[in-house]
Chain A
Amino acid sequence: MQWETVIGLEVHVQLNTKSKIFSGASTAYGAAPNTQACAIDLGLPGVLPVLNEEAVRMAVKFGLAVNSNIAARSVFDRKNYFYPDLPKGYQISQFTHPIVSGGELTIDLEDGTTKKINITRAHLEEDAGKSLHEAFKGQTGIDLNRAGIPLLEIVSEPEMRSAAEAVAYLKKLHALVKYLEICDGNMQEGSFRCDANVSIRPLGQKEFGTRAEIKNVNSFKFVEKAINYEVSRQIAILESGGTVAQETRLYDSQKNDTRSMRSKEEANDYRYFPDPDLEPLVITADFIAKIKQELPELPTAKHTRFMSQYSMSDYEANILTATKASADFYENTVKISGMNNSKITANLMIGELNAALNKDTLEIENCPITVEQLAKLVQRVADNTLSGKLAKTVFEFMWQQPQDPDLIIEQQGLKQVTDSAAIEQIIDTVIANNQKQLTEYRAGKQQLFGFFVGQVMKASQGKANPDQVNKILQEKLS
């Protein structure tokens, strides 16, 4: 039996407003428990919600970026259920009339092709607080700092057909919300949370199979593993004649499996109804137009521009525009080191810099080397002070102790030797000391050229300009 995987994703994006969606309490991460929970967040008797305009702007920005329809009139509904981290006993969300509907995101597949994934809707809602189960015997501790932080819940159509596609979608969405500066994308801190709806069906069947919702996956790697596990779990059930239960399952990264949550679904009839404390949200065409003007250059547009403006390949543009921070770093460096050296800059970033960031698991926002320092390094390569190889060495020093590369070149004496006379002298000495190889080379062993190059580089402590070495060595050996 051939099975087809069907995946739909719900992503909760924490909008990085300064204050909460319905109250003026702070949203800063890491505060001591309940120090950022005001009367409104605590659901005290008599309090009322008032909407944060920035949350609305951010939702509209997102809607524009994915080419969706922005509702002229959207409504806030109450989702009613009891849970200790939900102070009012209901969550203010949007059910029947969300602020954004439709839209699409184009994802990059591993084989180099692209696929368009449709977005069903995106709506505004408030986040709940946090429950701490471990610290207290027989009790759970509740922290309401997070209660009321604005969320944009983005729901995709169930159009992904593999874990890899799901991850591609998430990565694209993650980059986009960071690009738009509506979310800091910090998955460890819970700013970007994914739930996956996974089902399988016989290949060719039109009807969807029963789906399970997987929660608690907080990294792209785990999303992929969780989905793969879930797919094989469902296949095993169906192939042995069983049926898949519609339920919520939690992913366990230690065991790499999913397990059923105590079915809180069956008791939960959310009784959605329009929140009588809030009025319908009216968004005018003018408002949308104004936000459109303020939109930053979107990833696709930037990618196209990089290819033409900096004469880059698709591959290079992909890497450098993957995040806004990376693209900005590149362009800021080029501003200093010059357009004519843009290729050197690209190579340094794609090569040395990215490798170092990956090795130390750093995001470019936390790059120890500054734009100015990198620009200087570029200039030293451009003006021949450093060869490519020497630049690598200098970079390594810079990574350990960020500073102006000139200081390193000075201290380490890493200046490239470009004086032809000096190089000639070194070459003469090497040839003199390696007569046997010289004879063999002249007899036809062409591959010994590399040996001589190596000896010259060694003798010059890597500082001899490779092009000049090659040129002079050619003359002297023949």
Chain B
Amino acid sequence: MHNKSITELVNSLRNKQISSVELTKLFLERIKRYDKKLNSLITNTATQALAAAAIADQAISNGATGLLTGLPILHKDIFCTNGVKTSCGSRMLDNFIAPYDATVVTKLKAAGTIMLGKTNMDEFAMGSSNENSYYGAVSNPWNTDYVPGGSSGGSAAAIAARLAPAATGTDTGGSIRQPAAFCGITGIKPTYGLVSRFGMIAYASSLDQGGPMAASAEDCAVILQAMAGFDPKDSTSVDRETSDYIKDLNAPINKLVIGMPKEFFSADLDPEIAKVVETAIKELEKIGATVKSISLPNSHLSIPAYYVIAPAECSSNLARYDGVRYGYRCEHPADLDDFYCRNRGEGFGAEVKRRIMIGTYVLSSGYYDAYYVKAQQIRHLIANDFTKAFKEVDVIMCPTTPETAFKIGTKNKNPVDMYLNDIYTTGINLAGLPGLSMPAGFVNNLPVGVQIIGNYFQEAKILNVAHQFQKVTNWHQQSPQEFA
């Protein structure tokens, strides 16, 4: 049951072949049995889930059903959930019970989903390994000594172990795509502005986007259908007609032109990873696509530009965490300065503090033009590179990550080592384009992900390409034996 697609599950629910309560119990049981090995959940909302499932069953028997009625899902603990702890992976919000629902949560609730719990993540979405969580590291189900990727590590691990059929994630520099690649699942970061950020705790406002993570592109398409759409509460939300992500999944790709950026297939790329990616692209050529070499000449600047812009925005976004109205409060503050400094010093972890300090630096007087403004100019150049490329190709494909998952605890000598994971993902966030990662093979028994990048608002197209790939391959159907 836990290996069925979302479409199959929703149909089974509609046809009353299984009840939502039974299905919810099934996944709650799996969580109970397996999550101690993974630590993918921070909060388990079993009681509320069963109550909601009972209501969903009532609705189903009354004939009224939504897109996803009765389907259990997990929410990354970055989405505010009314009445439920929302920690963002941080000690700073360990005591925070959100008094409202994020728009994404409201929409998925309205579509009929049942929330099983909140998933573990790198603190305030800063990290690529889920080792930066106040609630402990998450393990990769393919090898529990290894990281699942981050920051949506909990969601990725839970899906890989089939603890839920779908999970929400967020992606600022690769935080959906990279863990999806490390865990052998599918995840999509939509175009900036497609999914509402209201209630999605902000890290870097001009880069953050929420998106679905699931076993397949088809599953992601259904979840995205419920998540996407204009929200008047988010000024950066784009007001446009909603696309149909499901309808076009089966469109043929015989006229598809795939761009391969030469900079992403340089001699530096691990040959085994290169092989997996190139094999995947060949599969698509077999079913009609053609390949073209393109260039993204400024792509080597995406990581530096990203690590100027994201910390700058986060240093400001996280200034509200001062212990005054909510959040962590230290004991016996000596005075106001001590109160602020210790609330924040004790509430935040090391990586968050590093990024806040770097962000503070690049915005400060004397450095603003040289760093922040310059980085935004480079961002423009990077976006222009993509726009130019999309005049010649329909989609761009490349590796999602330069390597497979690494062992827990092996990349914390120099924070920059961790950042270099993001070489293929950050440019997409800077440009605001949609990007997807899907599993395409294994190296050293660890999953390898392939990235498909589309032009603005072309989520339907990239989901279509991924789905066509998944129709002729079965990487996406594989899950670790330990959690079968």
A and B touch in the complex (CB under 8 A): yes
Query: Given the complex of chains A and B, what is the CA–CA distance between A80 and B235 in angstroms?
Result: 20
Residues 41-63 of A contacting B (Cβ, < 8 Å): 42-51
B324 touches A84 (CB 8 A): yes
Q: Does B325 contact A (CB under 8 A)?
A: yes
Which residues of the other chain, B, contact A78 by a CB distance below 8 angstroms?
A: 316
Q: Does A161 contact B (CB under 8 A)?
A: no
A271 touches B363 (CB 8 A): yes
B340 touches A82 (CB 8 A): yes
Q: Which of B110-118, B200-208, B295-303, B391-399 contacts A (4 or more CB under 8 A)?
A: B200-208
Among A84, A271, A273, A278, point to the contact of B235 (Cβ < 8 A): A278
A45 touches B325 (CB 8 A): no
B202 shortest CB reach to chain A, Å: 7
B359 shortest CB reach to chain A, Å: 9
Closest A residue to B199 using CB positions: A46
A48 touches B197 (CB 8 A): yes
Query: Given the complex of chains A and B, what is the CA–CA distance between A278 and B313 in angstroms?
Result: 13
Known contacts A46-B80, A89-B320, A279-B236; A39 and B100 CB within 8 A of each other:
yes
Closest B residue to A37 using CB positions: B325
A90 touches B235 (CB 8 A): no
B280-320 toward A: CB 8 Å interface, digit per residue (1/0)? 00000000000000000000000000000000110110111
A90 touches B88 (CB 8 A): no
Known contacts A46-B80, A89-B319; A39 and B99 CB within 8 A of each other:
yes
Which residues of the other chain, B, contact A271 by a CB distance below 8 angstroms?
A: 315-316, 360, 363-365, 368
A43 touches B205 (CB 8 A): no
Among A39, A46, A80, A277, point to the contact of B363 (Cβ < 8 A): A80
Known contacts A84-B336, A277-B205; A49 and B363 CB within 8 A of each other:
no
Q: Does B137 contact A (CB under 8 A)?
A: no
A46 touches B202 (CB 8 A): yes
Among A45, A87, A89, A144, point to the contact of B93 (Cβ < 8 A): A45
A423 shortest CB reach to chain B, Å: 78
Closest A residue to B200 using CB positions: A46
A45 touches B313 (CB 8 A): no
A45 touches B312 (CB 8 A): no
A82 touches B197 (CB 8 A): no
Query: Given the complex of chains A and B, what is the CA–CA distance between A142 and B360 in angstroms?
Result: 26
Which residues of the other chain, B, contact A84 by a CB distance below 8 angstroms?
A: 322, 324, 336
B235 touches A89 (CB 8 A): no
Which residues of the other chain, B, contact A97 by a CB distance below 8 angstroms?
A: none
B316 touches A90 (CB 8 A): yes
Closest B residue to A85 using CB positions: B324
Query: Given the complex of chains A and B, what is the CA–CA distance between A271 and B88 in angstroms?
Result: 26
Query: Given the complex of chains A and B, what is the CA–CA distance between A43 and B322 in angstroms?
Result: 11
Q: Does A269 contact B (CB under 8 A)?
A: yes
Which residues of the other chain, B, contact A87 by a CB distance below 8 angstroms?
A: 320, 324-325
Q: Does B86 contact A (CB under 8 A)?
A: yes
Query: Given the complex of chains A and B, what is the CA–CA distance between A80 and B363 in angstroms?
Result: 10
Query: Given the complex of chains A and B, what is the CA–CA distance between A78 and B99 in angstroms?
Result: 26
Q: Does B483 contact A (CB under 8 A)?
A: no
Closest A residue to B364 using CB positions: A269
A80-101 toward B: CB 8 Å interface, digit per residue (1/0)? 1010100111100000000000
Given contacts A44-B325, A89-B319, 8 further A-B contacts (CB under 8 A): A44-B100, A46-B79, A50-B233, A82-B319, A87-B324, A142-B324, A273-B316, A277-B235
A sample of 26 cross-chain residue pairs with beta-carbon separation below 8 angstroms, ordered by A number, consists of: A39-B100, A43-B320, A44-B98, A44-B99, A45-B96, A46-B79, A46-B98, A48-B233, A48-B235, A50-B232, A50-B234, A80-B319, A87-B324, A88-B320, A89-B316, A142-B324, A144-B325, A269-B365, A271-B316, A271-B365, A273-B372, A276-B204, A276-B205, A276-B236, A277-B205, A279-B236
> Which 4 A/B pairs are nearest by Cβ-Cβ distance?
A89-B319, A276-B205, A271-B363, A276-B206
Please list the residues of chain B having a beta carbon within 8 angstroms of any beta carbon in chain A. Answer: 79-80, 86, 88, 93, 96, 98-100, 102, 197-202, 204-206, 232-236, 312-313, 315-316, 318-322, 324-326, 336, 340, 360, 363-365, 368, 372
Please list the residues of chain A having a beta carbon within 8 angstroms of any beta carbon in chain B. Answer: 39, 42-51, 78, 80, 82, 84, 87-90, 140, 142, 144, 269, 271-273, 276-279
